Chains A and B, each alone.
Chain A
Amino acid sequence: MSRSIKVDAIARLEGEGGLIINVKDGKPVEIKLDIYEPPRFFEGFLEGRSYKDVPDITARICGICPVPHQTSATTAIEKAFGIDIPESMYILRKILFLAEFVESHVLHVFMLQAPDLTGHDSVISLAGDAPDKVKAALRMKKIGNEVMKTIGGRSIHPVNLKIGGFYSWTDKQALMDLIPDLEWGLEAITEESRWAATLPFPDFEVDYEYVAVHNKNEYGVVEGDIISSRIGIITEEEFEQNYLEKHVSHSNALHSYNSEDQPYMVGPLARYNLNYAQLGDKAKALAEELGIVPPLNNPFKGLLARAIETLEAFDQIIKLIKAYDPQGSSMVEYEVKAGRGSSATEAPRGLLYHRYTINEDGDVVNAKIVPPTAQNLARMESDLWQLTPQVLQKEHEEATLDCEHLVRSYDPCLSCATHFLKLDIEEIE
């Protein structure tokens, strides 16, 4: 008996993709994530562009996580030029960065994944059942956006970040004015996390290799080394030697594999499991209260990691705003020179790696961008191979939803995946 689970267009994803699972005699024989995001060639058209344009152009890779792209690009190029930025700039970048975590995580938790766990087709119908919850989520999301807007002019593709610092300092008072809202957000996410912990997550556990940014001074997101649950800490420069994107025979998509040819996971669960110790007290206290201290190996529970990270983001933003002390020029002086630099940041959906080679005129010689979703793609497919037999006894619709839900729980950002290949959909008899 054969059966196909086919989702032409998975809803509630960033970007668009489909899913095909072909089953024969109770076992999956083929699983494909069909990414029909057309290629956009960022790495290609960056060639020859001035280094100055890179943050603005790479922001457009993804409307959901422009800040990590901007930050990875900026930091990588700053490394190529040997630029060190002072503390207050780092603080401002981190505030901007974490504000996007708030916006993106809240969007994912409440508007994209929560409908799966509450039996709704969308946040629109969820809003009918639980309007207060949705209103609270919208307000939290708005606060994240407001912080980004205050620093970057707008929350999607903000305009203030530049190589060597910022175009201008953000007025401290303008940020201080947001603190009451942020404090409200901190309370609200605590409350909503308690609710989230009660949601009926499917039983499903996988032994993952987690890979994330690791910063010895803090819960790493903006910059740091790379940590893996398999090989420990490596430098950013070593990333490309250990984790490769390549073609594999069973699929036409670019997949990332570790040096042992195994898929690995990036994203909130990876960060949470690897860097839990560096979370703030408030986050840890809530995690303990909810009984979700690592290890957390259920991909569906990425939602809970996101909730805790949102709390951590609110908490840190408040502290960082208070510590923010803009002085002097908003950008450091530097010299344009030939060089190569790479940087890894944590986009809300996982590790994002940029590497650039710049010539003496400041033009990009080549660019390499490894977005989180590309890295997770092989992992998602592996998970689906494992999940499918478990859900096959369910009604077709329900089984389909479970598979979709699994993909959604990764919060894949398909626009981000700058170089997926188009897959041919095959039906088996």
Chain B
Amino acid sequence: MTMSAVEDKMHVEENAMNPNWAVIKKIETETVDTSTLWLEFEDEEVRKDYKYSAGQFNMLYLPIYGESAISISSDPDQEGLIGHTIRFVGNVTRAVSRLNVGDRISVRGPFGTNWPVEESKGKDVIIFAGGIGLAPLRPAIYQIINNRKDYGKVTIVYGARCPSDLLYTGEYEEWRSHDIELMVTVDHADDTWDGLVGVVPMYFYRLRPNPENTVLWSCGPEIMMHFVLYEGLARKIPDNQIYLSYERNMKCGVGVCGHCQHGAYYICKDGPIFTYEQLEPYFNVEDL
């Protein structure tokens, strides 16, 4: 190898956009269009150094198809495989859906802000999740369970379009067993469904939060989070105790390609999780 080739190689390695290979170790089918991919970095060093917080995301890159921002859905306190729950709706994710155990995929990350899991100790936690929005909240749920006694009342309201769209249905009993109140609701019920019907924000009326001592975390379709927010604000939960996870067209993950700007924020770097206090100036600005 010539000198210049070595330099070029170094250039490749330094670049923040470069691939970082991981192997798919396990695939769990969650719904008809959603699966959880469990990944392990090929490089031992990377594996060892890789730490993430609840609510952060990775950029998954599949050569030929491109890159997509996918939130991490596994337990940050657990060593080992990293879980990504992916809904197959776009160009990249549909290609990901065709992958098998043993295939490689590149992972850049972790990127972005996290749920205030530590800061919320001693407080009541209310979580509103919709659809795939439960995925980035699951790491936080695990961490709460890991330290359940540090938190007050914990409530999760989770909704999806129909029963077959619900994620992680096998874990609900486990969560409930840790003194978590879990309400599960669907927009469209079938005959077998004996649970709640209706969108999640509607169920805020069942909660009696003590606003000063409550944090509200929400992730789901933006419109859903807005209604959750309105309900939270109506119940006097302070602006800086309401956390919403936003999503935009994220490309670089490091706030430099410009795509995911929302007002002065780069969603990928300053978000995806914001307090309402942060978002308030841009709230209800159409097409921002």
Are A and B in contact, CB atoms below 8 Å, in the complex?
A: no
Q: What is the interface of chain B, defined by CB distance below 8 A to chain A?
A: none
